[in-house]
Amino acid sequence: MKLILAVSLAMVAAVAARAGPPASQAQGIEGRDYRWNMPAGEKLEALKLKGDRKRGEEAYGVCVGCHLQSGAGRPDGSFPQLAGQHTTVLLKQMADIRAGLRDNPTMYPFAATLTDPQELADVAAYIEQLCIPLEHGRYEGKDADRQVAIGRALYEKECRDCHGASGEGVKEKFYPVIAGQHYRYLLRQMTEIRDGRRRNANPDMVRIISKYSNDQLVAISAYQSSLVMPGSLCKARGPANRK
Residue 18 pLDDT grade (very low, low, confident, very high; cuts 50, 70, 90):
very low
What's the domain range around 151?
144-224
Domain contains 139: no
8 and 106 co-located in one domain: yes
56 and 159 co-located in one domain: no
6 and 107 co-located in one domain: yes
Domain contains 150: yes
- Domains in the chain, number: 2
What's the confidence (pLDDT) of residue 41? 83
80 phi, psi to nearest 5 deg: -75, 160
- Of 150, 155, 151, the residue nearest 165 (C-alpha): 155
Amino acid making up residue 85: Q
Give the whole-number percent of the chain exceeding pLDDT 90: 74
Boundary of a domain, candidates 128, 160, 175: 128
Residue 37 pLDDT grade (very low, low, confident, very high; cuts 50, 70, 90):
confident
Q: Say whether pLDDT at 182 is over 70.
A: yes
Phi-psi region of 167 (alpha: psi -120 to 50; beta: other; left: phi over 0): left
Domain contains 229: no
Residue 35 pLDDT grade (very low, low, confident, very high; cuts 50, 70, 90):
low
| Helices then strands, each counted (H, E), the chain | 12, 0
Give the whole-number percent of the chain exceeding pLDDT 70: 82
Name the burial class of residue 193, with classes exposed (0-12), middle (13-18) and buried (19+) by CB atoms within 10 angstroms of its CB: buried
pTM: 0.85
The span from the CA of 81 to the CA of 185, in Å, is 9
DSSP 8-state code for residue 39: -
The span from the CA of 211 to the CA of 81, in Å, is 27
Domain contains 239: no
Mean pLDDT of the chain: 86
Amino acid making up residue 155: Y
DSSP 8-state code for residue 108: H
What's the confidence (pLDDT) of residue 16? 43
